[in-house]
A = this chain, B = another copy of it.
Amino acid sequence: MFGHFHETKWRLDRSPAMAGDFRWQNGFIAVDWGTTNRRAWMVAAGGQAHEILDDSLGVLKIEDGGFPAEIASIRQHHGEEPVLLAGMIGSNRGWIEAPYVPAPASLDAIVAAIRWPQDGVGIVPGVSYRSGRDADVMRGEEVQIFGALAEELAPRDGLLCHPGTHAKWVRMESGAIGPFRSVMTGELFSTLSRHGILIDRLQEDVFPNDDFRAGAEHGLAHDDLTAELFSIRARYLLGVGACDNASYASGLLIGADVRIGLAFGGTGPIALIGRPDLTALYAEALRLAGRDATQIDGEHAFLLGARAIAERLT
């Protein structure tokens, strides 16, 4: 059941001793429990964090009523520390639903809305955004965002992007999550690489190379994504401009994503929070769009955010 273990990778070196609930000061377990995967870390009182779990037991794989046994199993292996759960485990497909906190959403508002299915086991809620017919949701990204903010890695006012299956562009307003918008970039790339006419063209790894840049330039400058994707197939059949098709397609989707995200507003550098391979691709596309970016490792940001939440528990 338990996946591979990692050495201590992160040291959350924020100096003040934890305030609030005494139990959380002695360390806790932070779990990012998504739809198809879960990862967990032990965060020690001194700030050392090490991964204790990385497997594919996402919420969809846990049977009805199976979450208490999973928590008991984690504690049996790793100790009786309190547990902070984030991600889709708080959705209507998870353990219990932690209703979305509406944007603008501060860290305090999120902490106040944590659900407690068991004593010492909290589920962080997601965030929703509504304005007229504009609507969006996130679950899990909010922890990373507030983690980056807690260490001043991301600005309290400005534009932030979290690449992934559903990339999120977020306008931070006075330290709160303001309006945000999701783009299905990761899901579309993944789906196109597994189904349909482009399968054979999208099996290679993606790199921020010249072909990625050509795709990103196209995606940034043109609004013809659903046509340009087919061109990849046609160029291959006709032997036109042989290139690294997977990187070109990724560039195309990310270029369109960045175009949408930048139209969403905000000036100044963009804080990119997420998997380093993805933030590198987005940083490259942003560079082509003439914008600076700061890359923040999503795992580090998650742990910083979990700790920022734990500090506020009373």
Contact = CB atoms under 8 A, between A and B. Distances in A.
A259 B184 contact: no
Contacts of A257: 226
A256 B184 contact: no
A253 interface: yes
Nearest to A223: B223
Contacts of A187: 196-197
A61 to B, nearest CB: 17
A135 B237 CA distance: 9
A128 interface: yes
Interface string A100-119: 10000000000000000000
Interface stretch (A21-29, A228-236, A270-278, A290-298): A228-236
Given A225-B225, A237-B137, A230 B195 contact: no
A123 to B, nearest CB: 17
Contacts of A7: none
A260 interface: yes
A231 B134 contact: yes
Interface in A200-239: 223-227, 229-231, 233-235, 237-238
B231 A136 contact: yes
Interface residues of A, number: 43
A241 interface: yes
A257 B224 CA distance: 8
Given A135-B238, A238-B135, A230 B166 contact: yes
Interface string A240-256: 11000000000001001
Contact of A185 (B183, B226, B235, B260): B226
A188 interface: yes
A98 to B, nearest CB: 13
Nearest to A194: B195
Given A137-B237, A196-B187, A240-B135, A263 B231 contact: no
A183 B226 contact: yes
A182 interface: yes
Contact of A227 (B181, B196, B197): B181
A234 B137 contact: yes
Contacts of A195: 191, 194-195
Nearest to A197: B187
A234 B196 contact: no
B196 A191 contact: yes
A224 B263 contact: yes
Given A226-B256, A230-B166, A238 B137 contact: yes
A130 interface: yes
Contact of A136 (B226, B234, B241): B234
A4 interface: no
10 closest Cβ pairs, A-B complex: A223-B223, A182-B230, A135-B234, A135-B235, A183-B227, A135-B240, A136-B234, A224-B260, A137-B234, A184-B226
